[in-house]
């Protein structure tokens, strides 16, 4: 989005606010911590001080790309976590998907010029954990319906709100291909959403990959 | 534990198997992925091939310390997540605790000679996510009872199984102090368990820390 901002408002200094923060939690004054990324760290500090409250804590970073990539990829991975839940594959499998998905998210951010450290923060990992754990997430609940065997068109037809991950999945897959980043989980979710592979086939393919080094 | 192994069995090559894997999930053949760490990577590969099944996937790493630290610190942080749940502080706060706790876990592992990359894998982050999300975790449920206002002694008296995090918290706090690693969340949980600070006071102190750079 900061690329778009630079095109339409080139004189403006962009900042990114992102992190695990359900609106209802922030509104109720429950403790929340997010990332505020700005290349001008002095401005970032001033912005953070201006919007902070005793329970809403912005942590400062200077890596816009790292902060933006996490927010997009996490929606795709949350659909995958929903699928695992809908198919009843267990909490261990969900934790493995989040962890290996986090590795994919980090690889993509680094390939695009971001930093691994930023992705490990609230805007990346924090948001990923929240979105992948909660039925309140539209992406998670969409995946759950797919895992239960319902067709995507039916799931989307019942919704007024946008399920961001459905729109982000082809963009993430295209970026991964363009930058030659290995993202087998994100690709599998894209294939399921596009009808390229069925849920069972995609899971079978992931489990059939050769054993390898974790990093 | 590999320090102990080296003392009692100095001729043995140690390996560490750790990761998000509820025994019931593994036993039912649900998809599970874990870290197998061994300094001899050829032996690690052979071990992984020997214990892998179509649904149980060990990923290989060579960093024993990184693999061991995550498994200990995650139990302490899971108590913190339980406290947040018991006090009804919301899912956003829980995600923030896991993320900032992950940063503490990484700092400690690096100070002890491990690698950040290992901690970001299944043995660290993966196990942390699973333990911090599930009422099936003894540490999480212990924390929840504390968050609901019950005294620790009563909670532990009802249990036959060990709540590892209660034993690990003082060890983690001592290691953090010895190696001068900043671990405010782990310290707060230790203080709550030892009676040094109350739950409300510890939360108030964490929220009163100055705003700062995320990394």
Q: What is the pLDDT along chain A (215 residues), one digit of tens a residue?
A: 898 999 999 999 999 999 999 999 999 999 999 999 999 999 999 999 999 999 999 999 999 999 999 999 999 999 999 999 999 999 999 999 999 999 999 999 999 999 999 999 999 999 999 999 887 889 999 999 999 999 999 999 998 888 999 999 999 999 999 999 999 999 999 999 999 999 999 999 999 888 888 77
pLDDT at residue B134, rounded to an integer: 82
Tell me the C-alpha distance between A74 and A168, whole Å: 10
Q: What is the CA radius of gyration of chain A?
A: 18
Considering only CB atoms, A99 lies closest to which of B103, B106, B126, namely B126
What six digits make up the tokens of B2?
């590999």
The answer to whether B178 is a known catalytic residue is: no
Tell me the C-alpha distance between B100 and B81, whole Å: 12
- Which strands sit side by side in the sheet containing B15-18, from one edge to the other? B15-18, B32-38, B56-61
pLDDT at residue A150, rounded to an integer: 95
Instruction: Report CA-CA distances (Å) from A6 to A11, A28, A62, A164.
Output: 8, 34, 16, 23
Q: Is A118 left (phi over 0), alpha (psi -120 to 50) or beta?
A: alpha
Please list the residues that pair with A93 across neighbouring strands.
Answer: none
Judging contacts by C-beta atoms under 8 Å, the chain B residues touching residue A48 are: 211
Phi then psi dihedrals of residue B150, to 5 deg? -85, 145
Q: Measured between CB atoms, does B215 come within 8 Å of chain A?
A: yes
The answer on pLDDT for B20 being more than 90 is: yes
CB within 8 Å: B89 and A31: yes
Tell me the C-alpha distance between A185 and A107, whole Å: 13
pLDDT at residue A188, rounded to an integer: 97
Judging contacts by C-beta atoms under 8 Å, the chain B residues touching residue A211 are: 45, 48-49, 52, 57-60
Grouping H, G, I as helix, E, B as strand and the rest as coil, residue A28 is coil
CB within 8 Å: A95 and B35: no
The answer on pLDDT for B133 being more than 80 is: yes
pLDDT at residue B131, rounded to an integer: 93
Judging contacts by C-beta atoms under 8 Å, the chain A residues touching residue B140 are: none
Q: Measured between CB atoms, does B96 come within 8 Å of chain A?
A: yes
CA nearest A129: which of B75, B92, B80?
A: B92
Grouping H, G, I as helix, E, B as strand and the rest as coil, residue B18 is strand
pLDDT at residue B24, rounded to an integer: 92
DSSP state of B57: E
Tell me the C-alpha distance between A123 and A69, whole Å: 9
Cα A104 to chain centroid distance, Å, stands at: 11
pLDDT at residue B33, rounded to an integer: 96
Residue identified by tokens 């295209």 is A174
How many interface pairs between A and B have CB atoms less than 8 angstroms apart?
A: 190
The answer on pLDDT for B200 being more than 90 is: yes
Q: Determine the distance in angstroms separating the CA of B212 from the nearest CA of chain A, rounded to an integer.
A: 6
Residues whose CB falls within 8 Å of the CB of residue A207, separated by 6 or more in sequence, listed in order: B31, B54, B55, B57
Phi then psi dihedrals of residue B15, to 5 deg? -140, 150
Q: Measured between CB atoms, does B26 come within 8 Å of chain A?
A: yes
pLDDT at residue B162, rounded to an integer: 87
The answer on pLDDT for B150 being more than 90 is: yes
Q: What is the mean pLDDT of the segment spanning B32-45?
A: 96
CB A96 within 8 A of CB B31: yes
Residue B194: band (very low, low, confident or very high) from pLDDT cuts 50, 70, 90:
very high
CB within 8 Å: A90 and B33: no
What six digits make up the tokens of B53?
């099944």
CB B68 within 8 A of CB B2: yes
CB within 8 Å: A211 and B133: no
Tell me the C-alpha distance between B93 and B175, whole Å: 26
CB within 8 Å: B214 and A35: yes
Q: Measured between CB atoms, does B59 come within 8 Å of chain A?
A: yes
Instruction: Report CA-CA distances (Å) from A79 to A82, A95, A128, A197, B120.
Output: 5, 14, 11, 15, 21
CA nearest B84: which of B146, B137, B162, B139?
A: B146
pLDDT at residue B181, rounded to an integer: 97
CB B141 within 8 A of CB B161: no
The answer on pLDDT for B85 being more than 80 is: yes
Q: Determine the distance in angstroms separating the CA of A148 from the nearest CA of chain B, rounded to an integer.
A: 16
Residue B212: band (very low, low, confident or very high) from pLDDT cuts 50, 70, 90:
confident
Please name the helix (run of DSSP H) or strand (run of DSSP E) that holds residue A38, with its range, or none. Answer: strand A32-38
Mutate to test the interface with A, among B66, B99, B115, B116 (most CBs of A within 10 A): B99
The answer on pLDDT for B127 being more than 80 is: yes
């Amino acid at each position: 989005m900061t690329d778009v901002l630079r095109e339409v408002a080139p004189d403006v200094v962009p900042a990114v606010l992102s992190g695990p923060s359900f609106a209802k939690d922030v509104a109720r004054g429950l403790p929340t911590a997010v990332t505020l990324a700005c290349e001008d760290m002095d401005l970032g500090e001033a912005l953070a001080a201006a919007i902070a409250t005793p329970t809403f804590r912005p942590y400062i970073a200077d890596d816009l790309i790292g902060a933006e990539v996490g927010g997009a990829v996490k929606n795709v991975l949350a659909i995958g976590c929903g699928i695992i839940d809908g198919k009843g594959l267990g909490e261990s499998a969900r934790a493995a998907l989040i962890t290996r998905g986090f590795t994919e998210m980090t690889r993509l951010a680094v390939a695009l010029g971001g930093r691994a450290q930023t992705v490990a923060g609230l805007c990346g990992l924090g948001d990923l954990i929240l979105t992948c754990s909660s039925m309140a997430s539209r992406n998670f609940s969409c995946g759950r319906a797919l895992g239960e065997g319902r067709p995507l068109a039916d799931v989307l037809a019942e919704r007024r709100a946008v399920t961001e991950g459905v729109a982000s999945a082809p963009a993430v897959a295209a970026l991964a291909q363009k930058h030659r980043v290995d993202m087998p989980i994100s690709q599998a979710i894209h294939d399921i959403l596009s009808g390229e592979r069925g849920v069972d086939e995609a899971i079978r393919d992931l489990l059939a990959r050769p054993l390898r080094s974790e990093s």
